[in-house]
Amino acid sequence: MQVEKFYYDNKIVKMFAYASVLWGVVGMLAGLLIAVQIYLPGANFNLPYTTFGRVRPIHTNAVIFAFVGNGIFMGVYYSLQRLCKARMFSDALGKIHFWVWQLIIVAAAITLCLGYTSGKEYAELEWPIDIAITLVWVVFGINMFGTLIKRRESHIYVAIWFYIATWVTVAMLHIVNSFEIPFSFMKSYSFYAGVQDALIQWWYGHNAVAFFLTTPYLGMMYYFLPKAANRPVYSYRLSIVHFWALIFIYIWAGPHHLLYTALPDWAQSLGTVFSIMLIAPSWGGMLNGLFTLRGAWDKVREDPVLKFMVVAVTCYGMATFEGPMLSIKSVNAITHFTDWTIAHVHVGALGWNGFLTFSVLYYLIPKMFNTPLYSKKLATNHFWIGTIGIVLYVIPMYWAGFTQAEMWKQFTEEGTLKYQFLETVTHIIPMYITRSLGGALYISGVLIMVYNLFKTVKAGNFVADEAAEAPALPKVVETHGKQYWHRWIEARPIQMLIFSLVAVAIGGILEIVPTFLIKENIPTIASVKPYTPLELQGRDIYIREGCYLCHSQMIRPFRDEVVRYGEYSKAGEFVYDHPFQWGSKRTGPDLAREGGKNPDSWHFMHMMNPRNTSDKSIMPNYPWLYTNDLDTAITPAKIRAMQTLGVPYPKGYDQQANTDLQAQAKKIADGLKGDDQIKKLAAVSEDLDLNNIQKKEIIALISYLQRIGTDIKGEKKPATASLP
C-alpha cells in the first residue's frame, strides 16, 4: 500500500496554547480580585467596572471559555490530527477559528465590564456575541469533521467520540439557551420567562459543565494520558461504556440546580435520579484513567506531566462523587446557596481542568519545540504550590458553606431565628481570607509555569510543520468478526454526529418540552402583574450590576427561610421575569420578598454605602447610581420587546410608558427629599444632588426592589407547610 507523506500543523496548536495560558492568568487574577472584594468591599474602587457583580462574570467566562476553551482547542487540534493521521482540514479555518474566538473573548471582557449582560450565569454574553460564538463554532465543526472525513486511520478513537459529542451538544445548548429578543444594539430580553427560563438556563448551565469542562477534557485524558505514560488506556471497552453512559445521563441532570425551588416536582426528581446515576460512568472514566498508570507509578514520581494528570483525574473523581451527593435533596437543602457550591466547582476548575491543562502544556510545548522542558524542578514546584493552593481554597469554602447553612437554620428556644443574616456572613470572613490565599498560591504556581514554558520556548526550535506518513484509507475497510454496524458508523462521521445529537436531544426534549406544552393545571396568580416601566428599568439595572450573583430571589419552603424572608416562592410569580433572577448563591440575603420590607430611604442610604444601614456589611458601594441619569429613551423599545414576549401591556403602551415612569419616579424622589437623614447626607456630599435625583438610576432600582415579591402579599395565603 502506498504511504503518503504529510505534515501536522503545530502552529495552530501553539497559538491556542499561548492563548490558554494568557487568558488563564487574566481569568484567575479576576477571580483573585473578587475573592478579596468579598472581605474588602472597598477593593471595588467605587467604580462600576471593577465591582463584584461585573467582574465575577468576567472571571467565570474567562476561565471557562477563554482558559479552558483555548485549552480544548489546543488539545483537539493536536490530538485529532494525530489520531486521524491527517493535517487539519483547513489552515485558514483554523486561523479564523482562533482569531474570532480571541475577539469574542476581548468583546466579552469589555461588554461585561460595561454591564452588558443577559443576566444568566455562564451565558451572560449579549446577543451579538452569541451570534459570533455560533458562527465560530460552525467554523470549528467544519474543520473538525473535514479532518475526520479526510482521515487516513479507519478507526475513530474514543477521544474523538468525546470531541464530537462536545461539538454537537455545545451547539445545541448555546442556541437553545441564547434565544433572546434584542431591544438595542447590545441588550436583549431572554425569550423564556421564570420557571422555563430557569429550567433551560440550568439545563444549559449544567451541561456546559458536562460538555465544555468535562467531555472534551476526557477526550484529552484518553489521548494524552496514554501518551505521557507510554501505555494504552487500561480498558478500551470501559471507555466505550463510559462515553455512551456519560453523554446520555449528563443531559438529564440539569434540574438538580433547582431543587426545592418553584420548578415542578417531577423535573426536580428527574434531575436527582439521573445525577445519582452519573456517578457510575464518571467513576468508570476516572478509574480507567488511574488504572492506566498501574505498574507505571514509578514514572509518576519522576514526571511532572503525570503528576498533574494524576491529581487532575483524582479531582475529577472527587467532583463527580460530590456532584451526585449534592443532588440528593436533603444534602442540597444544606449546601445550596452556600460556599459549598463554590468549593465544589473549584475542585473541578482548579483540579480537573486547571491541572489537566497544565499537564498537556508541559507535554506539548517541549514536544513542539523539540527540546526538553527547561526545568523539571520548577514544574514539580508548580505542582506542589498548585496542589496546596487547591487545598487552601476548597477546605475553607466547604467549612464556610457548612457553617453558614447551619447558622441559617438555627432557632432559639423561643422559636425565633438565632442569627441575623449578616452575622452568618461576618462569621465566615476568616474562611474567605484563607480562600483568597489559596487562590493566590495557585496563581503563583501558574506564573512559575509561564516562566518555565517561556524558557523552554526560548531554548527550542519550533517545528511548525511536523512530518508524518501513513497509508491512505482503503476504500473497503477490513472488518474484524461481526462488527459490521460498528464499522458502518465509524466510516461515517457525519452520521455519528447525528446519532450523538439524537442521543443528547432526547434528554433535553423530554426534560424541557412538557413545561411548554401542557397548559392544564397552570398556577397563574391573578394578582401578578407586569412591572411598571420604572420597575422594569430598575430591574435592568439590577441585572446590569449582577445583583443576582450574590442575592437569590427564591425562597425555598423551609421553616427558617419562610421565617427569615417570608412566604415561599411560587412558580406563578415569575411569569413576567425575562430573564429569571433566582440566583444560585447567597452571599447576601434572599430578596424574593424584599418589596415593602424597608422604606425607600433605607435603600437609598444602603446602596450609597451599605455600612450606612448594615454595620459590617460586605456589599460594595454603588455611588454611580446616584449620578447616572436613567436612560428613558430606551423605555418604549423595552416595552415593545416585552409585548413581543407576551407580557400583557396594553396596546400602544410603549408611548405612554415614560409618562407613567416619570410620575412614579417623582413620587419616590419626593419621599426621599423629605427624609431628614438623606437631607443631612446631601448637605455634606458634593456629588449628591437631591434636586435632580428623580432622573437618576437609583430611583428606578429602588422602585424595582420595592416591587419584588409584593404581588401576592395581599392575597389570602394558604397555610405554609411545615417543612423538612
Partner 1 sequence: MKFINYLEKISGVDIYALSSFSIFFVFFILMTIWALKADKNMINEINNLPLNN
d(C-alpha 408, C-alpha 430), whole Å: 18
What's the rounded Cα separation, in Å, for the pair 411 and 113? Answer: 41
CB-wise, 341 or 569, nearer to partner 1? Answer: 569
CB–CB of 476/154 below 8 Å? no
Q: Does residue 518 interact with partner 1 by CB under 8 A?
A: yes
Contacting partner 1 within 205-224 (CB under 8 A): 222-223
702 contributes a contact to partner 1 by CB under 8 A = no
Min CB(124)–partner 1 separation in Å: 22
Residue 523 touching partner 1 (CB under 8 A): yes
Among 507, 538, 579, 589, binds partner 1 (CB under 8 A): 507
Neighbours of 714 (CB within 10 A): 8
* Positions in 453-472 near partner 1 (CB under 8 A): 468
Q: Is 567 helix (H, G, I), strand (E, B) or coil?
A: coil
Stretch that binds partner 1, among 127-135, 456-464, 500-508, 613-621 (CB under 8 A): 500-508
Between helix 52-61 and helix 91-113 the angle, nearest 10°, is 170
Q: Cβ contacts of residue 209 below 8 Å, gap of 6+?
A: 345, 348
3-state secondary structure of 11: helix
With respect to partner 1, which residue has the nearer C-beta, 446 or 562? 562
Query: Contact between 645 and partner 1 (CB under 8 A)?
Result: yes
Q: Can you tell me the distance from the alpha carbon of 74 to that of 356, in angstroms, rounded to the nearest whole number?
A: 12
Q: Is 38 in the site for partner 1 (CB under 8 A)?
A: no
Closest distance of CB 83 from partner 1, Å: 6
Other beta carbons within 10 Å of 232 = 9
State the binding string over 70-89 for partner 1 (x if CB under 8 A, else -): ---------x--xx-x----
Specify the stretch interacting with partner 1 by CB under 8 A; choose among 302-310, 432-440, 509-517, 592-600.
509-517
Q: Residues, the chain, total?
A: 724
Pairing of strands 465-471, 3-9: antiparallel
Taking Cα atoms as reference points, which of 420, 428, 329 lies closest to residue 613? 420
Options 95-103, 166-174, 248-256, 456-464: segment touching partner 1 (CB under 8 A): 248-256
Q: Which of 167, 192, 204, 568 binds partner 1 (CB under 8 A)?
A: 192
Closest CB to partner 1 among residues 42, 648: 648
For the bound state, the minimum distance from the C-beta of residue 93 to partner 1, rounded and expressed in Å, comes to: 22
- Identify which of residues 281 and 538 has a Cβ nearer to partner 1 in the complex: 281
Residue with smaller CB distance to partner 1, 476 or 683: 476
Q: State yes or no: residue 480 binds partner 1 (CB under 8 A).
A: yes
Give every CB contact of residue 193 below 8 A, 6+ residues apart in sequence: 574, 575, 576, 577, 578, 579, 580, 645
Q: What is the amino acid identity at position 689? A: D
Interface residue with partner 1 among 48, 71, 115, 264 (CB under 8 A) is: 264
Say which residues have a Cβ less than 8 Å from residue 296's Cβ, sequence separation at least 6: 229, 230, 231, 306
The amino acid at 55: V
**Which residues fall within 8 angstroms of residue 364, CB to CB, at 6 or more apart?**
13, 17, 74, 78
Total of chain residues touching partner 1, rule CB under 8 A? 66
Binding segment for partner 1 among 22-30, 304-312, 515-523, 674-682 (CB under 8 A)? 515-523
Residue 173 CB neighbour total at 10 angstroms: 25
- In eight-state DSSP terms, residue 411 is B
C-alpha to C-alpha distance for 289 and 274, rounded to whole angstroms:
23
> Is residue 498 at the binding interface for partner 1, with CB under 8 A as the rule?
no
> What span, in angstroms and rounded, lies between the C-alpha atoms of 698 and 519?
39
Is residue 541 a contact point for partner 1 (CB under 8 A)?
no
| Site stretch for partner 1 (CB under 8 A), options 232-240, 347-355, 429-437, 592-600 | 232-240
**Site membership for partner 1, residue 477 (CB under 8 A):** no
- State the minimum distance, in angstroms, from the CB of residue 639 to partner 1: 16
54 contact partners, CB below 8 Å, separation of at least 6: 48, 112, 113, 115, 117, 545, 546
* CB-CB contact of 16 with 98 (8 Å): yes
Q: Which is nearer to partner 1, 80 or 668 (CB)?
A: 80
Residue type, 28: M
Identify the residue among 458, 486, 680, 713 touching partner 1 (CB under 8 A). Answer: 486
From 37-45, 302-310, 591-599, 640-648, give the range in contact with partner 1 by CB under 8 A.
640-648
Site for partner 1 in 148-177 (CB under 8 A): 153, 155, 157-159
- Residue of 309, 319, 281, 468 lying closest to 383 (CA atoms): 309
Q: Is 475 in the site for partner 1 (CB under 8 A)?
A: no
Q: Please, which residues have CB within 8 angstroms of residue 529's CB and are 6 or more apart in sequence?
A: 576, 711
N-to-C CA span, the chain: 71
Q: Which among 583, 606, 568 has a CA at the least distance from the CA of 705?
A: 606
DSSP class of 122: T
Residue with smaller CB distance to partner 1, 120 or 382 = 120
- Name residues contacting partner 1, limited to 304-333 (CB under 8 A): none
Binding mask 593-632 for partner 1 (x = CB under 8 A): ----------------------------------------
Judged by CB under 8 A, the residue of 35, 233, 448, 496 near partner 1 is: 233
Task: Give the one residue of 416, 521, 691, 722 binding partner 1; rule: CB under 8 A.
Answer: 521
- Using DSSP's 3-state secondary structure scheme, residue 5 falls into strand
Candidates 128-136, 229-237, 422-430, 548-556: pick the segment binding partner 1 (CB under 8 A).
229-237
Interface positions with partner 1 (CB under 8 A): 79, 82-83, 85, 153, 155, 157-159, 191-196, 222-223, 226-227, 230-233, 236-238, 240-241, 244-245, 248-249, 252, 262, 264-266, 270, 468, 480-481, 483, 486, 503, 506-507, 510, 514-516, 518-524, 571-572, 574-576, 644-647
